């Protein structure tokens, strides 16, 4: 089958979305499909991009066709890209939707592609109602949805949101593993690489730092006298995607000395060190649909503490692969302490390996094709 993926890819720092698209392309190629990714020459105007750079210096993934040709703010470009993909006549377009700002651009491209009366269009919807709401969100999403034939969501909450917009075929399926960051390394090696105490107790907060991800909640939990007495320390690995001053002020106010800050963009080939160094991955989100961080943690076979918001806890069985906390500092601290109680979770590693099997790319693609009837 000839498949076009429309969404972020190298050299963009699309975070989880770019990594996901590239990994999905490899999985499709392994099943014998002909795949091309149509990515962005300009993804966001600067006022919408909160990080330091939209581009990575990492080498391009080998064996993938990536066409960086979409300009998100140029309607003439949307027409030309639409005509190009229409002429290519892929059997299937898989388009990512994560931000209503992209609705006019992607919706216009898809309307043109449909005119070839051959291509089916499937959307993987990461968010329908975004974390940070802006005027026009509803109208842009409605415009995007109209030319799409079917939808996949990776959170039941997103599926519910989607069904307020459309009754087109749609299916929830869990987020597959992020298994393209390499294998885990021995904990001692990872801690040496990061200049950490080989005998310490370490939590990991990983990913872009934004308000909804609750780093402030975790910092308040780290200020809990019980956490301090237990000698538990926190690795913060990820770039600030908003003003860092409030976080730095909070750290200073609490006088926290148990923090290890790596707040630049983390290249893909270094991700393994952060996860391998940690005892426990923490996702203290105050709002969420799903998080790819849970699937990175499963790949590296690390236990997790997540909060019971949105769909983030759907794939983390409480008391088996970690714990589910309320989105407040005391509950997060309580569960961290519970985790570090000897024998708190029997057969923890075996449980993680068992749960991990549910998130293969083969299962994901099978459900994707089922949704679009291909």
CATH number for domain 2-172, candidates 3.90.550.10, 3.40.50.1370, 3.40.50.11930, 2.60.40.10: 3.40.50.11930
User: How deeply is 113 buried, as exposed, middle or buried, from its count of CB atoms within 10 A (0-12, 13-18, 19+)?
Assistant: buried
Interacting residues of 111 by C-beta distance below 8 A, sequence separation 6+: 82, 146, 147
Alpha carbon distance, N-terminus to C-terminus of the chain? 10
Domain over 187-358 is classified CATH 3.40.50.2000? yes
**Cα–Cα distance for residue pair 340/337, rounded to 1 Å:** 5
pLDDT at residue number 116: 98
The reported pTM is 0.84
Domain residue ranges of the chain, discontinuous segments joined by +: 2-172, 187-358
Q: Is residue 343 left, alpha or beta, with left meaning phi > 0 and alpha meaning psi from -120 to 50?
A: left
**pLDDT level of residue 206 (50, 70, 90 thresholds):** very high
**Cα–Cα distance for residue pair 157/50, rounded to 1 Å:** 26
pLDDT at residue number 138: 92
For residues 170-183, give the mean pLDDT: 91
pLDDT at residue number 289: 64
pLDDT digits (tens, 9 = 90+) for 217-228: 999 999 999 999
pLDDT digits (tens, 9 = 90+) for 356-373: 988 999 999 999 999 988
pLDDT at residue number 60: 82
Angle, alpha carbons 255-259-262 (nearest 5°): 130
Best CA proximity match to 280, nearest among 235, 312, 315: 235
């Amino acid at each position: 089958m000839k498949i076009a993926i429309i969404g972020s890819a190298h050299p963009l720092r699309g975070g989880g979305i770019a990594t996901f698209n590239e990994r999905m392309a490899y999985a499709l190629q392994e099943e014998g499909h002909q795949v091309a990714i149509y990515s962005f020459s300009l993804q966001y105007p600067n006022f919408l991009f909160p990080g330091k750079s939209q581009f990575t210096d990492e080498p391009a993934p080998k064996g993938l066709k990536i066409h960086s040709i979409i300009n998100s703010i140029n309607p003439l470009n949307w027409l030309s890209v639409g005509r190009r993909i229409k002429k290519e006549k892929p059997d299937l377009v898989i388009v990512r939707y994560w931000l209503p700002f992209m609705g006019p651009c992607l919706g216009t491209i898809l309307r043109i592609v449909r005119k070839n009366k051959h291509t089916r269009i499937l959307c993987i919807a990461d968010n329908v109602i975004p974390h940070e709401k802006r005027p026009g969100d509803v109208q842009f999403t409605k415009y995007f949805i109209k030319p799409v034939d079917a939808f996949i969501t990776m959170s039941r909450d997103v599926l519910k949101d989607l069904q307020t917009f459309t009754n087109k075929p749609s299916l929830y399926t869990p987020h597959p593993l992020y298994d393209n960051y390499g294998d885990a390394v021995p904990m001692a090696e990872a801690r040496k690489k990061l200049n950490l105490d080989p005998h310490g107790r370490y939590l990991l907060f990983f990913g872009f730092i934004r308000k909804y991800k609750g780093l402030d909640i975790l910092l308040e939990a780290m200020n809990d006298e019980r956490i301090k007495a237990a000698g538990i320390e926190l690795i913060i690995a990820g770039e600030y995607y908003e003003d860092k001053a409030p976080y730095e002020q909070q750290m200073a106010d609490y006088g926290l000395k148990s923090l290890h800050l790596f707040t630049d963009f983390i290249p893909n080939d270094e991700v393994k060190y952060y996860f391998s160094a940690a005892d426990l991955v923490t996702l203290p989100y105050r709002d969420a649909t799903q998080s790819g961080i849970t699937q990175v943690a499963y790949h590296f076979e690390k236990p997790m503490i997540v909060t019971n918001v949105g769909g983030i806890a759907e794939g983390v069985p409480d008391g088996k692969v970690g714990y589910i906390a309320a989105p407040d500092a005391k509950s997060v601290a309580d569960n961290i302490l519970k985790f570090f109680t000897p024998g708190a979770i029997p057969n923890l590693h075996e449980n993680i390996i068992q749960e991990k099997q549910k998130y293969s790319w083969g299962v994901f693609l099978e459900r994707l094709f089922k949704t679009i009837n291909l």
